[in-house]
Structure 1
Amino acid sequence: MADAHAKPNHDYHIIDPSPWPFLGSVGALIAALGGVAWMQYLKGGSLHLFGMDFASARYFIFAIGLLVILYTMYGWWSDTIKEAHEGHHTRVVSLHLRYGMIMFIASEVMFFVAWFWAFFDASLFPNEVHQVTRAEFTGGVWPPKGIEVLDPFHLPLYNTIILLLSGTTVTWAHHALLHDDRKGLINGLVLTVGLGVLFSFVQIYEYMHAPFAFADSIYGATFFMATGFHGFHVFIGTIFLLVCLIRAMRGDFTSKQHFGFEAAAWYWHFVDVVWLFLFACIYVWASSGAPIAAGH
């Protein structure tokens, strides 16, 4: 039986018992408690559980949950890399890993569909009547009266060029890997990570100088939610690619086995495509005919 488990006569991988699902769930629960306590504190309330006020220790509780989650991610993915090096990622297992990544990206697509839905619902129907007439908040037009928008062909265009360039560099890195060009792989990843960091800095600068705020109007709310979550995904994708760069420098990837890098490249292309929709719809179309803030 032991020999059969060590050398199974099939392409599936029966993993060893793992603490990571349970530990990750515990970390998520702790972080959620800290987050709820934090929100209660911000509105002047409290969160009493087990005889203590969680709101007074909100930072500490949330930080513990976040650290547990990050440790789980590190440990779980380290185990996955170890399994790949040990030869457990057979043709069938690799296919299922790809299915998993495709399903994850599909869920991310629907996540952004929600923000686009909110944006178009507000922008296409500024006079719609609910419990309160929306025209009271928009003036019956979009962008709402009194809103000065960002120039779409200034910083947003720069960031569009940056992301499109990063899409080409990550593709270069991918083709280099397929041809066993380790130097090309590393150079392509260095450029992609650098462009990702540059995009984040440009967006932070844009937010710092935006002529409207999140709480000013429904325009600001939908703008910052859609573009802000995309910026967060760029940040996550940059870390993803940075880990791939470190692994590439260690010699982990081969032309035959490199799903970790492939998943990162898929994710980065997804981020690129979402930005093109954001740029076209929120920056260009939604700002058409609206006053552009001076210097923006």
Structure 2
Amino acid sequence: MKKYNPFHLVELSVWPILTSFSFLSFALGVIIMVRSFYCTPFLLSLFFLLVSSFLWGRDVHREGCYEGQHNFQVTVGFKVGMILFILSECFFFLGMFWGYLHLAESPALEMGGVWPPVGVSPFDPKGIPFLNTVLLVSSGVSVTWTHHAMENGEFKASLVSLVVTVVLGSVFTMFQLIEYYVASFTFSCSCYSSVYFMGTGFHGLHVLIGSALLMICLFRFSFMTISPNHSVGFECSVWYWHFVDIVWFCLYLIFYWWGV
């Protein structure tokens, strides 16, 4: 049947609904693991989430690279969707910042009337948090360098800078785990620790997702399937990574610097 519009009408696919159910089971698995330390549901849901996401992404990649379905109008739709997604994530973290600031400005008497609560030793903002800030800011610079080099046709420079970005993101995650390991408080110690682990934990999850997206782009760079005229996936990944940078900067200022 002849198509009378410039948009790509996708074929029927089972991957979106399977990925949605995998996300739901993943969230339930996290709750079960936190409450009862039973990891099997979490690991199974994570496996199915990764498999369904990979297969869905494979189909989208095939449509764009080998079938030529992603014309200008389709790529604009991808970019608008990514902007709206990042905007929704901004409001998600805004709720955490709001909760933290509300608790800090009016600490309850049950916590001793002070912030942080009595018995909680916050982290030194000039220690690991500052190092992580330097790492993420540096990764933002290197991923921008990757984009600039790719636009100028400098393949080797873009590949090297993208590897640097992925390494910096991995080191950031490692230091965040070390910070959790040496923390003097747990998730259930107080409202301070709950908001801290929720905010930094969800940001860490976003760093992992961003690192995975950049690693996919790295493989695509290796196989020469990204070019200045075919780079919407890479551009969206760069936008997401800069969003992660900005959120961490706000986390550092509010959770580590201002809140101690």
If the length of structure 2 is used for normalisation, what is the TM-score?
A: 0.92
**Deviation for aligned residue 1:9:** 5.0
1:135 equivalent in alignment to 2:109: yes
Listed one character per residue, the Cα deviations across residues 12-58 of structure 1 (whole Å, up to 9, x for unaligned) are 1111221112322443455466566657756xxxxxxxxxxxxxxx6
Counterpart of 1:233?
206
1:270 equivalent in alignment to 2:250: no
Q: Distance in 2 between matches of 1:25 and 1:210?
A: 34
Q: Distance in 2 between matches of 1:37 and 1:200?
A: 23
RMSD: 2.0
Counterpart of 2:194?
221
Q: For structure 1, which segment, 142-151 or 175-184, has the greater mean C-alpha deviation from structure 2 after superposition? A: 142-151
How many pairs were matched up?
259
Q: Distance in 1 between matches of 2:128 and 2:195?
A: 19
Counterpart of 1:125?
106
Judged with a 3 Å threshold, the aligned counterparts in structure 2 of structure 1 residues 235 and 38 are, in CA distance, closer, same or farther, namely: closer
Judged with a 3 Å threshold, the aligned counterparts in structure 2 of structure 1 residues 110 and 179 are, in CA distance, closer, same or farther, namely: same
Counterpart of 1:21?
16
Give 3-state SS (helix, strand or coil) of 2:210's partner: helix
Q: Distance in 1 between matches of 2:121 and 2:177?
A: 19
**Deviation for aligned residue 1:62:** 4.3
One-letter amino acid of the structure 2 residue matched with residue 214 of structure 1: F
Give 3-state SS (helix, strand or coil) of 2:124's partner: coil
8 Å contact kept, 1:27–1:64: no
One-letter amino acid of the structure 2 residue matched with residue 179 of structure 1: N
> Who wins on radius of gyration, i.e. which is larger?
1
Judged with a 3 Å threshold, the aligned counterparts in structure 2 of structure 1 residues 38 and 238 are, in CA distance, closer, same or farther, namely: closer
Counterpart of 1:102?
83
**Deviation for aligned residue 1:147:** 2.4
One-letter amino acid of the structure 2 residue matched with residue 19 of structure 1: V
One-letter amino acid of the structure 2 residue matched with residue 135 of structure 1: L
**Higher helix proportion:** 2
**Deviation for aligned residue 1:170:** 0.1
Q: Distance in 2 between matches of 1:68 and 1:266?
A: 27
Counterpart of 2:228?
255
**Deviation for aligned residue 1:223:** 1.3
Counterpart of 1:81?
61
Counterpart of 2:71?
90
Structure 1 unaligned spans of 5+: 43-57, 127-133, 288-296
Judged with a 3 Å threshold, the aligned counterparts in structure 2 of structure 1 residues 232 and 256 are, in CA distance, closer, same or farther, namely: same
**Deviation for aligned residue 1:214:** 2.0
